[in-house]
Structures are given as structure tokens and as C-alpha cells.
A and B are shown apart, each in its own frame.
Chain A
């Protein structure tokens, strides 16, 4: 799929995966992922272009009278699979890196103990 998992993308995917059936509008995602609009929207456009996220317009706003309809985003079936795979891979790599660092810290450096 050629997805480069950056920290902001990881946060967005985590928000989507927290409830895969939930639909999110832009400001909702911004708050949940703690990302500025300037980062979020290009990312959503890229995900949508790759077919990982779908969007649809809210049919009729129910809460506030006169509020314009919002656009909602949701992970597609492919998106769910790819997001889970990428996050799992990132967690594995992070775990391996942590173990490597812990191993180096635990092992005394050669020549340091006399």
C-alpha cells in the first residue's frame, strides 16, 4: 500500500480504530487526534485517495436548527485492515527497538569495568 506511518497518521488511525463503526467529522478528528486542520485534511485526502477512508455528507443535521450539514469520515474495509496491520507493525518495531536499547543498557560496555 506504500503507507508511511508518521506519528500524526498513527494518531488518526488510532482514533478511527477505537470504534470502526463510528463516523467522524473533521473537527471531531482534530480534537481526538490533537492535530491541526492543516495537517489533518491533507492526510484525510491522501487516505481517501488510497481508498482507506470514505466520506459522506450528513443527510440532515438533527441537533441545532440551521446548522449546515457536515462531512463525515470513516475507515473502509481495506482501511481497517491496513490500519490494524500498520499499527501492529509499528508496535512490533517499537518493541524490538525498546528491547535492543534495554539489552544494551543492561550489558556493561566492553572495557568499562576494570
Chain B
């Protein structure tokens, strides 16, 4: 059960994170605007259950969080203005690549531990296929990111 203040806090946190993506004044104004909507959602007389009201407030905050990716462009603010320069830029796909490789190794290790001819073997092999694909995609993304950074293609 999500209590009302906890939902409000969680939604407020998400909104604050979302507004950090926006440039100074815009972010501050949006934060004021969006947090001011939370009491209206959490006291909405049209929704009888407090759990549903809390869930709606969280959904609202998640939507707002997602919208900040499109908001600068929609408001005519160039995308690069909204980004803080990163000291250590995070490579594209490196975390998914590591996660997928670890998952892949785990599943393959599991497959080796199971005796051949076990009825679980086909299921494990099928399960190993998806992280394998994900690992390949993530590694390709990482290699492309690395090549961009090395200066072959300018990075944005």
C-alpha cells in the first residue's frame, strides 16, 4: 500500500529529477508547476480509492519525467542547451553490454551444469539466446560510441 505522503514524496522526487534535465529557469518554473498539480491529483474527488490516487500521482510524475526529453524541443529550446557537460561521459550501451554478457555467461554456466539430455536443456538454450542478442546489440552500440569518441564522427 502506498501512503499518500510517500506517494507525494516519490512523485516530487521524480519531478525534481525530471526538472534537472531542463535549463535553469525553465526547470525551476516547471518544478513549481508540476508539484502544484500533485495535491489536485492526490485529493481528486473523482477517484474514490486513495491507492488509485497515489498510483495516478506516480503515473503523472513518470509521464512528466518522460516528457522532459521532448519538452525542450517542443518549447523551441535547443537540445544541447539542456545538457550539463559531463566530466566523464557515459559510454552508450556499456552498462547494458556488461549486464547482458553477465546474464549470458550465467545462463550458459547453468546450461553446462545441467546433464545432457535433460528436459530443461532446450528451455535454457532458448533463454540464453535473448541475452546473447542483447549482448551483441549492446557491444555494437559501445563500439560505435567508442569510434565516435575517437574522432571519426563528431560526437553530437
Interface presence of B59 (CB below 8 A) = yes
Interface of chain B residues 40 through 56 with chain A (CB within 8 A):
40-41, 43-44, 46
Instruction: Report the separation of the CA atoms of residues A49 and B74 in the bound assembly, to the nearest whole angstrom.
Output: 8
Query: Which residue from A27, A30, A43, A68 sits with its C-beta under 8 Å from B74?
Result: A43
A26–B34 CB distance below 8 A: yes
Instruction: Report the separation of the CA atoms of residues A40 and B63 in the bound assembly, to the nearest whole angstrom.
Output: 9
B59–A70 CB distance below 8 A: no
Query: Which residue from A37, A69, A71 sits with its C-beta under 8 Å from B67?
Result: A37
Identify the closest chain A residue to B59 (Cβ): A36
What residues of chain B lie closer than 8 Å to A31, measured between beta carbons? 46
Instruction: Report the separation of the CA atoms of residues A27 and B64 in the bound assembly, to the nearest whole angstrom.
Output: 12
What residues of chain B lie closer than 8 Å to A39, measured between beta carbons? 63, 67
Interface presence of A111 (CB below 8 A) = no
What residues of chain B lie closer than 8 Å to A38, measured between beta carbons? 62-67
Query: Which residue from B33, B60, B74 sits with its C-beta under 8 Å from A46?
Result: B74
**A42 and B70 in contact (CB under 8 A), knowing A37-B64, A48-B75, A68-B32?**
yes
Min Cβ gap A61→B in Å is 9
B75–A46 CB distance below 8 A: yes
What residues of chain B lie closer than 8 Å to A68, measured between beta carbons? 32, 35-36, 39
Query: Which residue from B41, B65, B71, B73 sits with its C-beta under 8 Å from A27?
Result: B41
For chain A, the count of residues having a C-beta within 8 Å of the partner chain is: 24
What residues of chain A lie closer than 8 Å to B46, measured between beta carbons? 31
Min Cβ gap B65→A in Å is 8
What residues of chain B lie closer than 8 Å to A36, measured between beta carbons? 59-60, 63
Interface presence of A45 (CB below 8 A) = yes
What residues of chain A lie closer than 8 Å to B37, measured between beta carbons? 25-27, 70
Min Cβ gap A51→B in Å is 11
Interface presence of B76 (CB below 8 A) = yes
Min Cβ gap B156→A in Å is 21
11 residue pairs A–B, Cβ–Cβ below 8 Å: A25-B40, A27-B40, A27-B41, A37-B64, A38-B64, A38-B66, A39-B63, A43-B74, A45-B75, A46-B75, A48-B75
